[in-house]
Amino acid sequence: MSEFFCVPRWCVLLVVVSVVSHAISSSSLQADEDSVFLQSLDGQLITGLPDAGGSEFVLQRVFSSQFPSTFAWNGPGFHSLSRAPEGVEAIPETADVAFDFLPMNIDGLTSNLLYWDGVGSASEDVQFGLPPDDGYTLTLFGRNNQPGTVAATSEMIGGPVLVRTLDGAGLRMHEHRFFFLDDGDEFVDPEEGVYLTAMQLRMDGLRATEPFFLFWGTLNTPIAAVESAARPWIESRVDQLILDGDYNFDGGVDTADFDVCTAQQASSGPFPW
């Protein structure tokens, strides 16, 4: 379609996905096993999944989905329960939830978007690095379709508002925002494989979530590469890809991180206290 309109594919897709997202918004949560559920605990936002009965909340920081042939998809979704499971709390009503993309560090490489070609079916086969070429971007469209985009750089990307929470006794948040993967070439699709990014969610009055990780297999990437190889590889490295206390994302924790942290004390920055 973009070949005829001569505009970036995401501009055309945005019109389509905006309509689709309304159609999906009423779907059952039974199909949302890969969704990010957001609750709070002791003054901090937390991510995870409720059990089948909704009575317990399991902390989780790795979530997956699959890109179709359009490379635009509304998953993982973002949800929250107003009737929080035992041991956790509901997040505030009618409040904005913002998102940030975070750079990851692996073997001296720092990037907010990583790629593995998906060749292999075990975690020891996984070799994440930079995307195949310059120009690759991953965009998340937030509230009112405002975009936040990573381009495989070492920068933290402060995103816009993801969603405004709901009031009442139903779901506090039920949002399927679209992610779009682009290789910068109007006429060539991104390479098959697995794409990885890191995020955090923020709300005023609560500490941000711990970094969590989203990864997607492309349509022709074997499911074994996604779930049997990439998932355990990422899950075993959630505390190494982004070190606790590494506020400037340089792969180490030192006095420079202390300066960043204290500069944001009592502020609404990415790591508010």
**pLDDT tens across 35-61, in order?**
999 999 999 999 999 988 778 999 999
Give the three-state DSSP class for 199: strand
How much of the chain is helix, strand and coil, in % rounded to 5? 20, 35, 45
Residue 213 or 27, more confident: 213
Is it the case that residue 105 has pLDDT exceeding 50?
yes
Structure confidence by residue, pLDDT tens digits, 247-259: 667 666 656 656 6
Residue 139 confidence (pLDDT): 98
As a whole number of Å, the CA-based R_g of the chain is: 18
Structure confidence by residue, pLDDT tens digits, 208-231: 999 999 999 999 999 999 999 999
Residue 60 in contact with residue 46, Cβ under 8 Å? no
- DSSP structure class, residue 129: B
Strand partners, 63: 214
Structure confidence by residue, pLDDT tens digits, 152-174: 999 999 989 999 999 987 899 99
With vertex at residue 27, the alpha carbon angle to CA 56 and CA 16, rounded to the nearest 5 degrees, is 130
Q: Quickly tell me which residue has 């924790």 as its tokens.
A: 253
Distance (Å) of CA 37 to CA 81, 189, 223:
8, 31, 23
Lowest mean per-residue pLDDT among 67-76, 161-170, 189-198? 161-170
- Alpha-carbon distance 72 to 77, whole Å? 13
Burial category of 35 from C-beta neighbours within 10 Å (exposed 0-12, middle 13-18, buried 19 and up): buried
Is it the case that residue 65 has pLDDT exceeding 80?
yes
What is the share, in percent, of the chain residues with pLDDT greater than 70?
A: 77
Residue 8 pLDDT class (50, 70, 90 cuts): very low
Give the three-state DSSP class for 197: strand
